[in-house]
Structure 1
Amino acid sequence: MTPQHGPAIAFDRVGLTLGQTTVLRKVSLRVAPGSVHALVGPNGAGKSSLIKTLLGQTPHQGRVALEWAGAAGVMGYVPQALAFDAGLPMTVNDFMAAMTQRKPAFLGFARARVNEIGAALDRVGMADKRNRRMGALSGGERQRVLLAQGLVPAPSLLVLDEPMAALDEAGAQVFEQLLADWKQAGVTVFWVEHDLEAVGRLADHVTGLNRGVLFDGPPREVLTPQTLLDLFSTRPRTARASAQEAAA
């Protein structure tokens, strides 16, 4: 199944407070439909929390909206990592069945999913390991399986939480090819990533987040030494956030 073109994503003054800690502060940004939009920032900057607001997993202030050109399509999600007990008797096939269909995994694949799952595993180079236990895979191999489950059913919007973190060089090449395929198909990709070199090469647009938005624009324009120093330094973030709040 070919996905329809992806939606725009609008975050409008999104805020999140957990206890006494402000996790997100009046975050406003827009993801263009069919674009590869990267979100970068230090650990604890609120990147995963912003994803959770998009996925509807956490209460928040402000507005988050998916703006589809027509009927709503499929959203795929690839988490940062999943840990598996080495002795857990769950194969790659079992995992794909559990993650991509409503039918219980122990009953096997739903007929409508067999070809899609096989094609997804083939795209990430894991078709020959579909009978291996998830706990016996390397971290990079598990990450490829996570990428595969995000492909079934074919998504129009993909949310990626640091998908390159555990990938080896071959896996990174697989991911880059997937990004190119998604872009050609018009899939909207919202991509949290630490690898700034990869973001500079592969993203159409990048937002720097450290609880609030520090920069937003094309990578070649906004990924400068000064903006990155501001992004990964606590003091500039605090000063700028205070100035923005005073202006608001």
Structure 2
Amino acid sequence: MTVAQHIAIAGQGPGVDFADVSLTLGRTAILDHVTFKVRPGTVHALVGPNGGGKSSLIKTLLGQMPHQGQLTLEWAGAPGVIGYVPQALEFDRGLPMTVDDFMAAMCQRRPAFLGLSRHYAGAIGDALERVGMQDKRKRRMGALSGGERQRVLLAQGLIPAPQLLVLDEPMSALDEAGIQVFERLLFAWRQAGITVLWIEHDLEAVKRLADHVTGLSRRVLFDEPAATALTPERLLSLFSAHPRAADVDSGSAT
């Protein structure tokens, strides 16, 4: 069964309910009573300034950071799979790790040095095909461009087929061809009813591709359909704010 077929039968994604979610690190308030809902099966974008708490909110959803308030996943049936695509991949570029090695390490229980297991080989091949990286499976990860590495990260987010997919600035390193790949994936996820929570700085892409947008700068400044949310006045108020940034896991609380 191909990744596309897996996606087609993945089932309806969950709703996500953030209710008065707050996060304080030391003396710095990162999130301040954040309240909004992500509707099932929609593409929901988070936008806001650096240091505004977007990545920290994602980490609370993934169970990586403590928080106050309520965060609820509203599954239609039994809890499903959550996929995550990080903003960037930090690793020693001198490592002799091929694309196949990376996918094996991320997607299967069998140790990567034993190679791809038969159980995952087909799905991994299909995922790399969907992001246009099938012909670079034997290339070292360190020899890939930033955009190519980002495509590999998108591929690992497809295995196993998720019902909720969390994306942290997936377009940041992509070239034009990679952006087209991402947009096709986004369309397929929406068609399959997968819930997508998407951090993005490209506001034109958000307006064109998202269903709903939440503006976040420590607190929610707006929460509306994408077609009406990104007015000049709202964006001015959102990006003229200067929230205090705090280091979180050696990165900024974006």
Q: TM-score under structure 2 normalisation?
A: 0.91
Contact persistence 1:161–1:193 (CA under 8 A): yes
Match of 2:188 in 1: 181
Match of 1:147 in 2: 154
Aligned match of 1:131 in 126, 135, 138? 138
CA root-mean-square deviation: 1.2
Specify which structure has the higher proportion of helix: 1
Match of 2:82 in 1: 75
1:56-85 deviations in whole A, cap 9, x for unaligned? 000000011111000111110000001333
Aligned match of 1:231 in 210, 230, 238? 238
How much has 1:118 moved relative to structure 2?
0.3
Q: Distance in 2 between matches of 1:60 and 1:83?
A: 26
| SS of equivalent residue, structure 2 residue 24 | strand
Aligned match of 2:168 in 151, 161, 168? 161
How much has 1:120 moved relative to structure 2?
0.2
Match of 2:252 in 1: none
| 1:12-161 map, 5 Å | 12-161=19-168
Paired AA for residue 85 in structure 2? V
Residue 222 (1) aligns with residue 200 (2): no
How much has 1:108 moved relative to structure 2?
1.4
1:3-38 deviations in whole A, cap 9, x for unaligned? 111000010000000001000000001000000000
Q: Distance in 2 between matches of 1:10 and 1:149?
A: 26
How much has 1:101 moved relative to structure 2?
1.2
1:206-233 deviations in whole A, cap 9, x for unaligned? 0000000000011121110000000001
Q: Which runs of 5+ in 2 are unaligned?
A: 1-5, 245-254
Q: Which runs of 5+ in 1 are unaligned?
A: 239-248
Q: Distance in 2 between matches of 1:171 and 1:151?
A: 16
- Percent of residue pairs bearing the same amino acid type: 70
Higher RCO (C-alpha 8 Å, min separation 6): 2
Paired residues, number: 237
Q: TM-score under structure 1 normalisation?
A: 0.94
Residue 202 (1) aligns with residue 188 (2): no
Paired AA for residue 216 in structure 1? D
Q: Distance in 1 between matches of 2:92 and 2:79?
A: 37
Paired AA for residue 147 in structure 1? L
How much has 1:199 moved relative to structure 2?
0.1
Aligned match of 2:219 in 206, 212, 218? 212
Contact persistence 1:46–1:210 (CA under 8 A): yes
| SS of equivalent residue, structure 1 residue 234 | coil
Deviating more after overlay: 11-20 vs 217-226: 217-226
Residue 3 (1) aligns with residue 10 (2): yes
Contact persistence 1:84–1:134 (CA under 8 A): no
Paired AA for residue 190 in structure 1? L
Q: Distance in 2 between matches of 1:219 and 1:103?
A: 42
| SS of equivalent residue, structure 2 residue 126 | helix
Paired AA for residue 138 in structure 1? S
Paired AA for residue 179 in structure 1? L
Deviating more after overlay: 206-215 vs 96-105: 96-105
Q: Distance in 1 between matches of 2:78 and 2:12?
A: 10
How much has 1:86 moved relative to structure 2?
2.7
Q: Distance in 2 between matches of 1:84 and 1:139?
A: 12
